[in-house]
């Protein structure tokens, strides 16, 4: 028997041009296999011969006599007659997909222009013909819905899948993309949104198109998104792309009962900003579209669901989105998408640490063993700080393992591991594995339980430098929290090197910030806040002395005297009228010394530990923030809000 395509070609001549292909696809029967069962379909495709089919059918009958019942296709795969891929191809053809042999096909340059070669080779697909918004796609597996979704996003076309005759696709790929490129004709090769040469439709423009469409979003429709909902697909894609462009950390999609609209808000620089309102009749379709992208169950509305979107698979930038749906009143669902761009670490000297704290932290990180903790609430930049510190010590002579959930920042030289608690791959399990993998440095994304903390302490005492994060408000509180969850105080005191507490505050926009001389009342208020954050109850505050120290450090000469300036936000197009653009960290570094170790062993209170750390020179979060106010980096309102604990 001839190779796979021969059998089908005997009945239906293979198309050689895009016009012939469209004629075949528009015909009532095309190349649908007329087979009684999958074995006959495999025979027609030339994947098995009659002897193999008879033997498999006989084996199936014998198994049925023994009370077993297995599909014929499974038996053929088990016997080595075909592969699982070939079986899927045959089933797809049997279910009605056209089978095309592209060996002598004349490829359409307009279709090829829509799919880059690297994507075509990676996914084993080949665009054959373009007509209006329909794109014929030759595929090795026409049943791969995730791939069909990706291609639909990438090309912004409705995909018409056809099945490649077995063994013909690799050669056709090479021939198609190696042929000379045809000159582009204006208006003939539509570019997908975001492609060079065509401005991307803004979300508001797409929303207007969606609201005018007559075939989407009626209340009577089922809660699904069909392939014809192309504008909705593009709208979701554009919302995500614009959120990435604005450096948002989260997208909030909040649904309400009719007639209230769906509200879309972005968290930018830690603050929620109104972004878009969408008519309520699209609420089910919008949520369902995101669920499909995240691989969730679109039929489940009563329970919360978690998923993730690899946005690169849909033609967007390399960004992962963590998706959570939350059931709300009236049978509706809210969606929150957290954007996790695979960014690179920031240099440690650019994250905002004061020179003294930076030198001390670097000194601790160069020690061969011990424990360094970074603490703060969710979203305070702990992971960024840890990666910046690790990048500073990431050299050829160190083996560094990291256990993270999720992996937000990547850097060469690290061995980074994603946690998966559903299969038992937890931080504690990763720690035990790392200790058998010859580490020098171990980073644990978070100390969530006693077991993880205990193993981390033991690792730090046996010749490894361990870095981790903790959800606590201040450096002294981190010690009491770890003692409360069951750590041995003697081991912990010996292992601890340093604890860095941090917060993020919004940075004043450099384009529109205005400086003016500070008044005496403003300076007195700043000095009072500064000194109260480290003073003991009832202690006298040297406000005048502190202001003079600031004049020497931050003052500028004006009119023969040194003055201090205050900086006021104004608002401009660069910061979209907010007066802030970007964020920076404020820090509190506590170094372990003999006094701190004594407090740990005797389970002292957080207040006693704090007093000893301040006596040793620790500067509080509020003090560090106020010094950044004097430097013109942020304002007092931001610092007070971030340190009001």
CATH number assigned to the domain comprising residue 377: 3.40.50.300
**pLDDT attached to residue 169:** 84
In a domain, 449, yes or no: yes
Residues 414 and 402 sit within 8 Å (Cβ to Cβ): yes
Q: Using CA atoms, how far apart are residues 139 and 89, in angstroms rounded to an integer?
A: 9
**Residue 227 DSSP label:** T
β-strand partners of 243: none
Q: Which of 340, 371, 395 is the last residue of a domain?
A: 340
Q: Which of 329-333, 461-465, 486-490 has the lowest mean pLDDT?
A: 329-333
CATH of the domain at 292: 3.30.450.90
Residue 255 and residue 234 share a domain? yes
- Average predicted confidence (pLDDT) for the chain: 83
Q: Which of 206-210, 287-291, 566-570, 584-588 has the highest mean pLDDT?
A: 584-588
Q: Which tokens is 607 given?
A: 């207040």
Domain count, the chain: 3
Residue 79 and residue 40 share a domain? yes
**pLDDT attached to residue 589:** 96
Domain span at 363:
348-505
The residue count for the chain: 645
Residue 329 and residue 386 share a domain? no
Separation of CA 102 from chain center = 38
**Main-chain dihedrals φ then ψ at residue 430, nearest 5 degrees:** -65, -40
Cα–Cα distance list, 517 to 47, 133, 538, 566, 580 (Å):
84, 62, 32, 6, 20
Q: Which tokens is 488 given?
A: 């041995």
Q: Which tokens is 8 given?
A: 């089908």
Q: Which is more confidently placed, 225 or 539?
A: 539
Scan for tokens 């610092």, then name that residue: 639
Cα–Cα distance list, 185 to 128, 168, 394 (Å):
18, 30, 51
Q: Using CA atoms, how far apart are residues 407 and 460, in angstroms rounded to an integer?
A: 23
**pLDDT attached to residue 224:** 39
Residue 321 and residue 250 share a domain? yes
β-strand partners of 562: 557
Residue 332 and residue 398 share a domain? no
- Model confidence band, residue 195 (pLDDT cutoffs 50, 70, 90): very low
Residue 308 and residue 373 share a domain? no
In a domain, 284, yes or no: yes
Residues 155 and 108 sit within 8 Å (Cβ to Cβ): no
Q: Which of 282-291, 332-341, 597-606 has the highest mean pLDDT?
A: 597-606
- Model confidence band, residue 7 (pLDDT cutoffs 50, 70, 90): very low
Q: Which tokens is 381 given?
A: 């930049």
In a domain, 632, yes or no: no
- Model confidence band, residue 28 (pLDDT cutoffs 50, 70, 90): low
Question: Which of 277-282's residues contact partners 24+ apart within 8 Å by CB, and which partners?
Answer: 278/207, 278/210, 279/211, 279/217, 280/255, 280/256, 281/217, 281/218, 281/219, 282/210, 282/216, 282/217, 282/232
Instruction: Report strand pairing: 465-470 vs 441-444.
Output: parallel
**pLDDT attached to residue 227:** 35
Q: Which is more confidently placed, 569 or 167?
A: 569
Q: Using CA atoms, how far apart are residues 318 and 535, in angstroms rounded to an integer?
A: 48
In a domain, 592, yes or no: no
- Mean per-residue pLDDT for 181-200? 36
Q: Taking 70 as the threshold, does the pLDDT of residue 200 lie above it?
A: no
Q: Taking 80 as the threshold, does the pLDDT of residue 492 lie above it?
A: yes
Scan for tokens 């075939």, then name that residue: 215
Q: Which of 185-194, 287-296, 447-456, 566-575 has the lowest mean pLDDT?
A: 185-194
Instruction: Report strand pairing: 465-470 vs 496-508.
Output: unpaired
Q: Before 406, cis peptide (omega within 30)?
A: yes
- Model confidence band, residue 8 (pLDDT cutoffs 50, 70, 90): very low
Q: For residue 163, count other CB atoms closer than 10 A to its CB.
A: 28
Express each pLDDT in 52-74 by its tens digit: 888 888 888 887 887 777 788 78
In a domain, 387, yes or no: yes
Express each pLDDT in 282-333 by its tens digit: 888 889 889 988 888 888 888 999 888 888 877 777 788 899 999 998 889 9
- Model confidence band, residue 215 (pLDDT cutoffs 50, 70, 90): very low
Separation of CA 183 from chain center = 38
Residue 376 and residue 318 share a domain? no
Q: Which of 444, 474, 505 is the last residue of a domain?
A: 505
Residues 367 and 465 sit within 8 Å (Cβ to Cβ): yes
**Main-chain dihedrals φ then ψ at residue 51, nearest 5 degrees:** -65, -45
Residue 328 and residue 391 share a domain? no
Query: Quick one: which of 268, 341, 272 has its CA closest to 509?
Result: 268
Q: Using CA atoms, how far apart are residues 162 and 100, in angstroms rounded to an integer?
A: 7
In a domain, 109, yes or no: no
Residues 334 and 284 sit within 8 Å (Cβ to Cβ): no
- Mean per-residue pLDDT for 509-524? 89
Q: Which of 455, 478, 505 is the last residue of a domain?
A: 505
Q: Using CA atoms, how far apart are residues 423 and 10, in angstroms rounded to an integer?
A: 51
Q: Using CA atoms, how far apart are residues 579 and 637, in angstroms rounded to an integer?
A: 13
**pLDDT attached to residue 214:** 41
- Mean per-residue pLDDT for 225-235? 62
In a domain, 404, yes or no: yes
Residues 182 and 260 sit within 8 Å (Cβ to Cβ): no
- Model confidence band, residue 615 (pLDDT cutoffs 50, 70, 90): very high
Q: Taking 70 as the threshold, does the pLDDT of residue 583 lie above it?
A: yes
Query: Is this model's pTM higher than 0.75 or not?
Result: no
User: Within 144-200, where are the H helices?
Assistant: 145-155, 169-178
Q: Taking 50 as the threshold, does the pLDDT of residue 9 lie above it?
A: no
Q: Which of 77-86, 113-122, 340-349 has the highest mean pLDDT?
A: 113-122
Q: Taking 90 as the threshold, does the pLDDT of residue 534 lie above it?
A: no
- Mean per-residue pLDDT for 178-186? 46
Q: For residue 226, count other CB atoms closer than 10 A to its CB.
A: 12
Q: What percent of the chain has pLDDT over 90?
A: 33
Q: Which tokens is 419 given?
A: 């946690």
Q: For residue 1, count other CB atoms closer than 10 A to its CB.
A: 11
Query: CB burial class (10 A; 0-12, 13-18, 19+) of residue 462?
Result: exposed
Residue 484 and residue 436 share a domain? yes
Question: Which of 389-395's residues contact partners 24+ apart within 8 Å by CB, and which partners?
Answer: 389/348, 389/361, 389/365, 389/467, 390/345, 390/414, 390/441, 390/443, 390/467, 391/345, 391/347, 391/348, 392/347, 392/348, 392/362, 392/365, 393/365, 393/366, 393/441
In a domain, 3, yes or no: no
Residues 637 and 625 sit within 8 Å (Cβ to Cβ): no
- Mean per-residue pLDDT for 528-536? 88
Residue 316 and residue 229 share a domain? yes
Q: Taking 70 as the threshold, does the pLDDT of residue 223 lie above it?
A: no
Which SS3 state, helix, strand or coil, does residue 328 take? strand
Q: Using CA atoms, how far apart are residues 4 and 101, in angstroms rounded to an integer?
A: 9
Residue 353 and residue 277 share a domain? no
Residue 392 and residue 486 share a domain? yes
**pLDDT attached to residue 415:** 93
Query: Quick one: which of 277, 337, 268 has its CA closest to 577?
Result: 268
**pLDDT attached to residue 35:** 65
């Amino acid at each position: 028997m001839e190779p796979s395509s021969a059998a089908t070609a005997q009945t239906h001549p293979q198309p050689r041009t895009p016009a012939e292909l469209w004629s075949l696809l528009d015909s009532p029967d095309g190349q649908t296999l007329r087979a009684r069962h999958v074995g006959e379909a495999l025979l027609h495709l030339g994947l098995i011969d009659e002897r193999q089919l008879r033997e498999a059918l006989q084996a199936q009958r014998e198994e049925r006599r023994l009370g077993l019942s297995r599909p014929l296709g499974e038996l053929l795969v088990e016997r080595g007659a075909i592969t699982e891929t070939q079986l899927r191809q045959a089933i797809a053809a049997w279910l009605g997909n056209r089978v095309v042999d592209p060996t002598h096909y004349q490829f359409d340059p307009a279709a090829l222009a829509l799919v880059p070669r690297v994507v075509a080779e990676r996914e084993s697909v080949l665009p054959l013909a373009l007509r209006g918004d329909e794109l014929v796609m030759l595929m090795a597996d026409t049943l791969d819905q995730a791939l069909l979704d990706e291609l639909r996003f990438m090309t912004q076309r409705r995909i018409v899948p056809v099945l490649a005759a077995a063994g013909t696709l690799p050669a056709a790929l090479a021939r198609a993309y190696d042929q000379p490129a045809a000159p582009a004709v204006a208006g003939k090769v539509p570019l997908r949104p975001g492609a060079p040469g065509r401005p991307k439709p803004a979300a508001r423009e797409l929303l207007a198109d969606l609201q005018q469409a007559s075939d989407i979003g009626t209340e009577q429709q089922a809660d699904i998104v069909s392939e014809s909902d192309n504008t909705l697909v593009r709208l979701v894609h554009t919302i995500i792309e614009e959120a990435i462009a604005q450096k948002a950390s989260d997208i909030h999609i909040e649904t309400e009962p009719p007639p209230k609209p769906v509200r879309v808000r972005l968290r930018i620089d830690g603050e929620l900003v109104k972004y878009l309102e969408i008519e309520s009749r699209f609420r089910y379709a919008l949520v369902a579209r995101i669920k499909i992208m995240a691989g969730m169950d679109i039929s489940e509305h009563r329970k919360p669901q978690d998923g993730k979107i690899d946005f690169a698979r849909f033609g967007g930038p390399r960004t992962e989105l963590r998706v959570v749906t939350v059931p709300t009143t009236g049978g509706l669902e809210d969606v929150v998408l957290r954007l996790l761009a695979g960014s690179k670490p920031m240099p440690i000297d650019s994250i905002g640490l004061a020179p003294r704290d930076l030198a001390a932290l670097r000194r601790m990180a160069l020690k061969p063993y011990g424990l360094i903790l970074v603490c703060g609430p969710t979203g305070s930049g702990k992971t960024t700080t840890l990666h910046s510190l690790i990048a500073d010590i990431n050299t050829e002579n160190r083996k560094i393992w990291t256990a993270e959930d999720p992996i937000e920042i990547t850097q060469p030289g690290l061995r980074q591991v994603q946690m998966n608690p559903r299969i038992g791959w937890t931080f504690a399990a990763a720690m035990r594995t790392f200790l058998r993998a010859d580490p020098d440095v171990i980073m644990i994304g978070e100390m969530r339980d006693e077991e993880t903390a205990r193993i981390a302490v033991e690792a730090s005492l046996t010749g490894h430098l361990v870095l981790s994060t903790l959800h606590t408000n201040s450096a002294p509180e981190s010690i009491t929290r770890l003692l409360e969850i069951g750590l041995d105080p003697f081991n912990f005191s010996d292992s601890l090197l340093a604890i860095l507490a941090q917060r993020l505050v919004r940075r004043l926009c450099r384009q529109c910030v205005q400086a003016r001389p500070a008044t005496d009342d403003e300076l007195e208020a700043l000095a009072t806040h500064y000194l109260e954050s480290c003073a003991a109850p009832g202690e006298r505050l040297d406000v005048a002395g502190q202001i003079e120290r600031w004049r020497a450090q931050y003052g500028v000469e004006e009119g023969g005297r040194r003055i201090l300036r205050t900086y006021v936000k104004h608002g401009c197009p660069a910061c979209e009228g907010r007066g802030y653009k970007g964020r920076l960290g404020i820090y509190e570094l506590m170094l372990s010394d003999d006094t701190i170790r004594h407090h740990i062993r005797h389970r002292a209170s957080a207040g006693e530990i704090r007093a000893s750390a301040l006596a040793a020179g620790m500067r509080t979060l509020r003090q560090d923030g106020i010094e950044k106010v004097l430097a013109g980096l942020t304002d007092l309102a931001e610092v007070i809000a971030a340190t009001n604990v």
